[in-house]
Amino acid sequence: MEHNEIINKIGTILFMFGKPVKFSKISRLLNLKNKEVEKYLLELKQKLESDKGFLKLTILDEQAFLTVREPYSELARKIVDEIDLPKSLIETLSVIAILAPVEQSEIIKLRNNKAYDHISQLDKMGFVKKTKSGRTFTINLTKKFFDYFDIDEQEFRNKFKDRKDLKQKLSEVQEYISRYESEQQKDNPNQENLIQKSD
Helix segments in the chain, DSSP class H: 3-17, 23-30, 34-51, 73-82, 87-99, 104-111, 115-125, 143-148, 153-159, 163-187, 194-198
Sort strands 55-60 and 63-68 into parallel, antiparallel or unpaired: antiparallel
Q: Is 18 left (phi over 0), alpha (psi -120 to 50) or beta?
A: left
**What pLDDT, on a 0 to 100 scale, did the predictor assign at position 192?**
41
CA angle 126, 66, 68 (to 5 degrees): 55
Confidence (pLDDT) at 196: 39
Element (H, E) at 72: none
Residues 6+ apart with CB under 8 A from 12: 166, 169, 170, 172, 173
DSSP state of 65: E
Tens of pLDDT along the chain (199 residues) come to 788 889 988 988 888 787 889 999 999 999 999 999 999 999 999 988 887 777 889 998 899 988 877 666 666 666 655 556 677 787 788 888 878 889 999 888 878 888 999 999 999 989 999 999 888 899 999 998 887 776 778 877 776 666 556 655 555 555 555 555 565 555 555 444 433 333 3
pLDDT at 25: 92
CATH fold of 1-69, please?
Answer: Arc Repressor Mutant, subunit A (1.10.10)
**Quick one: pLDDT at residue 55?**
81
1-69 and 73-158 agree in CATH topology: yes
What integer pLDDT is reported at residue 10 of this predicted model? Answer: 92
Collapsed DSSP state (helix, strand, coil) of residue 167: helix
Fold designation for 73-158: Arc Repressor Mutant, subunit A (1.10.10)
Amino acid 99: pLDDT: 83
Separation CA 21–CA 59 (nearest Å): 10
Considering only CA atoms, which of 70, 74, 78, 54 is closest in space to residue 148? 78
User: Whole-angstrom Cα distance, residue 111 to residue 107?
Assistant: 6
pLDDT at position 197, please? 39
Q: Where are the domains of the chain?
A: 1-69, 73-158
Task: Report the DSSP pairing between strands 55-60 and 102-103.
Answer: unpaired
Say what the pLDDT of residue 181 is. 52
CB neighbours (10 Å) of residue 143? 10
Terminal Cα distance for the chain, rounded: 32
